[in-house]
A and B are shown apart, each in its own frame.
Chain A
Amino acid sequence: MFLSLVCSPMEEPLRCPGMHDLLPEEMERFRQVEEVFRLTCREWGYQEVRTPTIEHLFLFTAAGTLSAQMLGRVYSFLDWDGWSGERVVLRPDSTIPVARLYIEHMMGAPLAKLFYVQNVFRFTEGEREEWQCGVELLGDTQPLGDVELVLLGREVLARLGLGALGVRLSHPGLVRAVLERTGLSAGEQLRLYDAILDGEQEALAQLRGRIPDLGPAVDLLLREEGQGANYVRNLRAAFAQALPEVARPLDELEALAETLEALGLVPTVTGAMVRNFEYYTGPVFQLLVGDVVVGGGGRYDALVEVLCGRQVPASGFALYMGRLLPLVTRPPVAAATVWVEPADGAAATVAAAFQAASALRERGLPAQVALARGVSWGGPRLLVGPQGMVAFGAGASAGQQVGSVDEALTVLSGGAEK
């Protein structure tokens, strides 16, 4: 009776809140995205890495890493080694662990082009485990690096057969310059910024009230979007005098936008975009399929320095598997399998069935032994009995007696889709 609690439908699921099972069909699409991503990255000269699921919490707590809001949503705990009082965390982000990996194993290399497919854990109302396909570029690669990352991300999406691809650019230096003018504490600035990104009109009004000298142009910066380098130049005209701190961010944005335009790609430009990541120092971007943001990233030139004291410019992006999977169509079924069915349960018959399946696979024909009786299957099958073998082509009701696996192969491959 106690065990029936496990097997019967329950009001409360047995899996933990926010955790998601990947079922076979979803897993096929997952692998498709992963394989396209891996192939593309390798063709562009990137190398795959994987970091541990558990990291020291302190990697993420220094200023210039994750925002306080994000840190309030990590899975941190004292592990079995935690007698010293230092906490560990289920990685809430992959960029910081990859930067740590670079520092510990690759420091000094002029350029590290790395990619990964791994999960991150964050305590949210919805999914708490998110898989990401990410790329990190460590070394002095700018401004070419930013361009390459945008193009690499788009190529992955295009190879997945996705259309209506878009790119949105921004620069955290723009918002920081505005918020610093408010005289609010760092925490209050972040709360205000989050409220503005959430579309709260009152927050914007509060901001306007605190910096009246910037006038209504603040709305333009924080709420509007424009197209390409022209819009960047317009922003410069609007803010150059009142807010000279935005000059450098706008220069960096313009350079990136111009290059992308020369490649026939006009990005959308916006003043306010990413949150929760303090480490971004240069241009940031989002990759879109239609209206759906499927990935994002940017430049984080100060992160390696925060972690180890040595300056190494860097940038990266990640594609969000949870957003991509619903957009990707199911890949074509690779191969129909031949079912090899033992005619009875005698040891010799069962052994002969497993041997026949193995021999078929060796000859390039996917084959599996029919383990459960009474399961109805389609496709070709091979009946193995004490008197020999009978092969059935796909859909055939009548079988054909065969004397060897090779003979069976001829009959079966007529029906088996390769």
Chain B
Amino acid sequence: MIKIALPAGELRRPISQLLSQVGLDVPGYGEGSRSYRLSLDGRARVRVFRERDIPVQIALGQYHMGICGAAWVEEFLARNPRQEVVKLGSLPLAGPTLFLMAAPSTAQTLADLSRLAEPRIVTEFPHLAEALALALRLPRYRIIPVWGSAEAYPPEDADLALALASHEEEVVKRGLVPLLAVLEGPPVVIAHRQAIKALDMGWVLSALASLGLSSVPGMRLPASLGGLGLRPRPPAREREVLRVALPDGHQKPHVLGALAEAGLSFPGYAEGERRPLGPWDGIEAKVIRPQDMPQMVALGAFDLAFTGRDCFLEHIYRFPSSPVAVALDLGKGAFNMSAVVSVDLPVETMEEAISFWRREGRPLVRIASEFVAIADHYARSRHLWRYRVIPTAGASEGFVPEDADLLIEGTETGRTLAENRLKAIDVLFRSTTCVVVGRHTPTGRRGELLRLLLDSLRPVAVAGSATI
């Protein structure tokens, strides 16, 4: 039986409709079923993944065929060009375009980039950004990978953003200039090379072909800007305002609660403003993803940020010398970061699981996690011997047992685990909302404001949990 990976999110409905047109009905898919395991006519097993996970699953051979956005396929292939992923064609659907964009004060055209001494490119697509920087032959550049909201960073926190938008006008509406359309295209059908050679996939391929698959456009790389020698790093400018990063998503209610308890107000934050006002003069705030905060604080873009301990540890395990630290633990939004296995595995602890896998002679332990560095650190320190971390973009529950042996996952009540026939056998740490700051304390008015903010938050914090 062949295995097919389909995308979650906005693509669900249009892809479901398209598949139905050619007799490929996946009950539950278009309606957004919460189940991760679906069936196609009893002839194929279907799993729903976040788009960015799909090329990984196909490359590993865990799924034979998949559909996802062209940019995610190219992002994967840019880093892993030799992988066993074959592009079969684009679906007749509208797709977003990947734009290189800049703030109007930074650049109006691509040629203006030659003026930048050390361009910082912020993106969800770091490997495509790398390919772009190399094609332009930027002499010294930095890629800042983020989990989302790349367009929120220029001009203060990055010079350029590489991000998806439906069209040029949408980029302009975000206050940025589209410099180059790097990749455009509808969702792409991909397959595992060996699966195509060996499995009976003709019935599904011919159904898809009847939709009129078109050729997959590759990345449009610009010519070199030419002759840009290395320039000395410009001296860092001392900022006068104190910059605070506030989280969106699931951390937001916890942070709003803590701020209210501390008597601090960031007008506009609760209402969803990207750049809320600060509680006092001299404070500037911006809303970004909590996953991206430790790096942005380390880079000096923000002085203080509210993020989860999970995001902090993910960063610090990857970059132990990063100049960022936890100043306060607000104790809110608590959950366990756990090691999770199938309920069918006859073990209760991690030690027993390791012994079990060794007795079985398993050559490789597959670990799926959204937190690659935490999972890697755990596997190393628990001596799992040969293991592979499969990066996921969330919703890892569906990976075990077919596609992974172990999950490193945030668990709250245990209900989701039970629903997916999983159990936790170890707790790595308890994650809570934390305040993180740079290791180098700012001076002057900025330093004073930082102290005031921390003093206001301290009564809300968990006692004795100042640093990790």
Contact = CB atoms under 8 A, between A and B. Distances in A.
A344 B130 CA distance: 66
B221 A187 contact: yes
Interface in A75-101: 78, 80-87
B363 interface: yes
A61 B137 contact: yes
B336 to A, nearest CB: 26
B268 interface: no
Contact of A85 (B144, B227, B228, B359): B144
Contacts of B229: 62, 64, 305-307, 309
A391 B319 CA distance: 61
A58 B139 contact: yes
Contacts of A5: 361, 363
A80 B319 contact: yes
B467 to A, nearest CB: 18
B330 to A, nearest CB: 23
Given A85-B143, A85-B144, A307 B134 contact: no
A186 B385 CA distance: 46
B361 A2 contact: yes
B230 interface: yes
B322 A1 contact: no
A187 B223 contact: yes
Contacts of B225: 63
B138 interface: yes
Nearest to B121: A85
A83 B6 CA distance: 33
A61 B142 CA distance: 12
A68 B134 contact: yes
Interface centre among B141, B295, B323 (most CB of A within 10 A): B141
Given A62-B139, A305-B229, A307-B230, A83 B221 contact: no
A276 to B, nearest CB: 14
Q: How large is the interface on A (under 10, 10 to 19, 20 to 34, 35 or more residues)?
A: 20 to 34
Which secondary structure dominates where chain B touches chain A?
loop
Contacts of B221: 187
Interface in B438-459: none
A80 B318 contact: yes
Nearest to A61: B134
Nearest to A2: B358
A187 B218 CA distance: 15
B364 to A, nearest CB: 10
A306 B138 CA distance: 12
B226 interface: yes
B321 A58 contact: no
A260 B22 CA distance: 73
B133 A63 contact: no
Given A63-B227, A308-B230, A84 B361 contact: no
B361 A1 contact: yes
B334 interface: no
Contact of B230 (A58, A80, A83): A58
A78 B322 CA distance: 12
A15 B138 CA distance: 35
Nearest to B294: A83
B223 A186 contact: yes
B133 A83 contact: no
B171 to A, nearest CB: 23
B227 A83 contact: no
Interface in B217-248: 221, 223-231
A80 B298 CA distance: 13
A81 B227 CA distance: 29
A86 B227 CA distance: 21
B357 to A, nearest CB: 8
B226 A83 contact: no
A185 interface: yes
Interface in B119-149: 120, 130-131, 133-135, 137-145
A290 interface: no
Contacts of A185: 223
A83 B224 contact: no
B53 to A, nearest CB: 21
B299 interface: yes
B318 to A, nearest CB: 7
Given A61-B134, A68-B135, A80-B318, A186 B226 contact: yes
A143 interface: no
Interface string B296-326: 0011000000000000000100111111100
A53 B228 CA distance: 25
A273 B293 CA distance: 50
Contact of A83 (B120, B140, B319): B319
A63 B142 contact: no
Nearest to B385: A2
A388 interface: no
A1 B227 contact: no
A209 interface: no
A104 to B, nearest CB: 13
Contacts of B120: 85
Contacts of A72: 81, 131, 134
A296 to B, nearest CB: 24
29 contacts: A58-B139, A58-B140, A58-B141, A61-B137, A61-B139, A61-B140, A61-B141, A62-B139, A63-B139, A63-B228, A64-B229, A72-B81, A78-B318, A78-B319, A80-B318, A80-B319, A82-B319, A83-B295, A83-B315, A83-B322, A83-B324, A85-B143, A85-B144, A187-B135, A187-B223, A305-B229, A306-B139, A307-B229, A309-B231
Given A59-B230, A83-B295, 8 more contacts: A2-B358, A2-B362, A58-B141, A61-B141, A63-B226, A72-B131, A85-B142, A85-B295
Interface of B: 81, 120, 130-131, 133-135, 137-145, 221, 223-231, 295, 298-299, 315, 318-324, 357-359, 361-363, 385
Interface of A: 1-2, 4-5, 58-59, 61-64, 68, 71-72, 78, 80-87, 185-187, 305-309
**Those 6 A-B pairs whose CB atoms lie nearest each other, nearest first:** A2-B358, A85-B142, A62-B139, A83-B319, A83-B322, A63-B137
